[in-house]
Amino acid sequence: MYKKKENIIRWVFTVFAFSSLLFLVGIMVTLFAAGLPVFQEIGLFNFIFGKDWYPTYNPPDFGILPLILASFLVTIGAVLVCVPLGVGSALFINELATHKQRAILKPIIEILAGIPSIVYGFFGMVIVAPYLQRLLNIPVGQTAFTGSLMLGIMATPTVCSISEDALSFVPNSFREASLALGGNRWQTLTKVIIPSAGSGISTGVILGMSRAVGETMTVLMVTGGAAVIPTSFFKPVRPMTSTIAAEMGETVVGSTHYHSLFAIGLILFLITLLFNIIAEIISRRYRLKLGLGR
Amino acid sequence: MDKKIKQNLGFLLLLICILTTIFFLGIILYFIVARGIRILSWEFLTQVPRKAMTAGGIAPVIVGTFYLTSGAMIFSIPLGLACAVYLSEYSPKSFIVNIIRISINNLAGVPSVVFGLFGLAVFVKYLGFGVSILSGSLTLGIMVLPSIISAAQEALMAVPQSYREASLALGATLWETIRKVVLPSALPGILTGVILSIGRVAGETAPIMFTAATFYTRRYPNSVFSEVMALPYHIYALMTEGVHPEEQTSIAYGCALILLILVLTMSVLAIILRQRQRSQSYYGT
């Protein structure tokens, strides 16, 4: 009697657990099913390396190279902003701040990590873009640079939190040993602590990049949306995510345009999957290195 | 001497980093609060929009966000909790369980716009729910599932093994142990994760763009199949559609402020809850 009930409950839980697997598989199946017709129609090579994205022209062009390059450009820009700021802040919080400062700074960073991306997009659109337009004397304020800046600021708290975690795992004995050998605090920081937390920090950087590539609303609102091969940081571009968000509303279900947006989603999915797997491998190695187990 | 200067310069650099971070984020908060507060009033919160979105309030927008968030939570909390209980209490350490763990981790990294595509293809089109609260809630629920699972799992793992052993030794079955001993002890931790997820769901835009949100309805939603207005999407729509940019921008500031208050309150709640748990150290260690 007891035994039977226990077994039923166990099965119920098993089914629930497997549903999460189902969703991941479901997402992949959906993206493949809705995206693959494009590869058949246009060809994988022409789709990915095509230089023109004119989905509504007659005849239309479905080449997403400008979108891919725009995504990479904006992501690289964002990394240049969020890595120094995020890692620097994490080092400050972990190594220099007093207990009291740390008790204030850590929650602040954590709370800021929760600001929705639409707020960054909105702020970038109404304040930053017009300001940059005047400051740099460029025709349009919504550029790859503006996007990079906003995305970078947005990803900074994430990078900071993960790096801070990695730094806090470095055993205190490492610090003490370095100081005992006569190294000062800066030498200890650069030669002992950063190298031992290095792979943990790079996990944070990769996850920050993954977030930047996949971020939609911010880039949709501040990068300007010109689907051309980017030639400069200070011109409008159109990353993959904002293309999906901006054009999905106007497409006819089942048209090549509709399928091509799903194919962009598929490529985006695979890119972020790759980032996550790399981050996973690095963080596993790192934990083993410091003897923390799995 | 040279060493000392280098150290001071280095420390100064780190100080500049953290100050810049706080400055950037502070300035965003400052602008939203200072400009948003001008339009904030009792009417703004309780009236329906008027004159093609240039006047009146945003009550249906707030209600829409409330419905979408509640719907997502009704779906994702039981499912996420059950999944976490299985992984931490029932699961044998096997290949399949590892695959589930890996897929949860990867699900967490999928961009939100991709969840939107999934919701559009599956809920809106394939299952025929249309652009509706139901489709949007399910999409948001799936998106937030991984964070609920990992938060719950962490809370369950933190319950000392001795609690389980004591209960089992008293003759309780595994399910009785989970229900009466493990879950109650893990509850505060689980709650923290849930609260953080609520904040995240309320602020997401991309997943609801094609599955639930509409720019302009004068009516309140009356069933799970109605399309709704929602705070984050409303900000976007106010900035990109319509013909009265000036009035719309000031309403958008108001929406952004309400959204920020909502989301940040959730984060603060979660942090306070966690700190209280720590200071009480309720596992008596």
- Is A249's pLDDT higher than 90? no
Can you give the pLDDT at residue B68? Answer: 94
Q: What is the ipTM score, two decimals? A: 0.89
A185 vs B7: CB contact, 8 Å cut-off?
yes
- Most A CBs within 10 Å, among B6, B25, B115, B150, to test the A interface: B25
- Most B CBs within 10 Å, among A75, A82, A115, to test the B interface: A115
Chain A partners within 8 Å of B87 (Cβ): 17
Closest approach of A173 to chain B, Cα-based (Å): 21
Residue B55 has phi, psi (to 5 degrees) of -145, 180
Chain A partners within 8 Å of B85 (Cβ): 13
- Interface check for A112 against chain B (CB to CB < 8 A): the answer is yes
- Interface check for A280 against chain B (CB to CB < 8 A): the answer is yes
Can you give the pLDDT at residue A190? Answer: 87
Both tokens of residue B251? 């309403």
pLDDT tens readout for residues B169-178 = 998 888 889 9
For B202-215, letters b (16+ CB in 10 Å) and e give bbbbbbbbbbbbbe
The pLDDT-based confidence of A69 (bands split at 50, 70, 90) is very high
- Is B281's pLDDT higher than 60? no
Can you give the pLDDT at residue A3? Answer: 79
pLDDT tens readout for residues A103-140 = 899 888 888 888 999 999 999 999 999 999 999 888 88
- Is A277's pLDDT higher than 90? no
- Is A184's pLDDT higher than 90? no
Residue A64 has phi, psi (to 5 degrees) of -105, 10
Average pLDDT over every residue of A92-100: 89
CB B203 within 8 A of CB B265: no
- Is A201's pLDDT higher than 90? no
For A60-86, letters b (16+ CB in 10 Å) and e give eebbbebbbbbbebbbebbbebbbbbb
Can you give the pLDDT at residue A208? Answer: 85
Can you give the pLDDT at residue B96? Answer: 77
Identify the CA nearest to B130 among candidates B219, B220, B224: B224
Question: Which domains can be identified in chain B, with CATH numbers?
Answer: 60-280 (1.10.3720.10)
**CA-to-CA dists, residue B36 to A51, A210, B65, B77, B249, angstroms:** 42, 32, 18, 33, 10
The pLDDT-based confidence of A256 (bands split at 50, 70, 90) is confident
CA quadruple A152, A158, A164, A165: dihedral positive or negative? negative
Average pLDDT over every residue of A223-248: 87
Q: Which of B103, B113, B206 sits opposite A21 (nearest CB)?
A: B103
Residues whose CB falls within 8 Å of the CB of residue A103, separated by 6 or more in sequence, listed in order: none
Q: With pLDDT > 70 as the criterion, what percentage of chain A qualifies? A: 97
A273 vs B106: CB contact, 8 Å cut-off?
yes
A282 Cα distance to chain centroid: 17
- Most A CBs within 10 Å, among B3, B6, B12, B14, to test the A interface: B14
- Interface check for A217 against chain B (CB to CB < 8 A): the answer is yes
- What span, in angstroms and rounded, lies between the C-alpha atoms of B67 and B62? 9
Can you give the pLDDT at residue B133? Answer: 92
Can you give the pLDDT at residue A67? Answer: 92
Can you give the pLDDT at residue B20? Answer: 93
The pLDDT-based confidence of B283 (bands split at 50, 70, 90) is low
CB A119 within 8 A of CB B267: no
CB A152 within 8 A of CB A219: no
Give chain A's mean pLDDT: 87
Average pLDDT over every residue of A55-77: 88
- Is B52's pLDDT higher than 70? no
Give chain B's mean pLDDT: 87
A160 vs B173: CB contact, 8 Å cut-off?
no
Identify the CA nearest to B108 among candidates B137, B156, B67, B151: B151
B109 vs A93: CB contact, 8 Å cut-off?
no
Both tokens of residue B206? 């991309």
Interface of A with B in 135-154 (CB under 8 A): 153
- Is B285's pLDDT higher than 60? no
CA quadruple A121, A123, A124, A126: dihedral positive or negative? positive
- Interface check for A29 against chain B (CB to CB < 8 A): the answer is no
Can you give the pLDDT at residue A137? Answer: 85
- Is B284's pLDDT higher than 50? no
The pLDDT-based confidence of A92 (bands split at 50, 70, 90) is very high
Can you give the pLDDT at residue A292? Answer: 58
- Most B CBs within 10 Å, among A11, A118, A209, A255, to test the B interface: A118
- What span, in angstroms and rounded, lies between the C-alpha atoms of A167 and A117? 27
- Interface check for B273 against chain A (CB to CB < 8 A): the answer is no
B260 vs A189: CB contact, 8 Å cut-off?
no
Both tokens of residue B173? 């079955």
Can you give the pLDDT at residue A294? Answer: 41
- What span, in angstroms and rounded, lies between the C-alpha atoms of A92 and A164? 9
- Interface check for A7 against chain B (CB to CB < 8 A): the answer is no
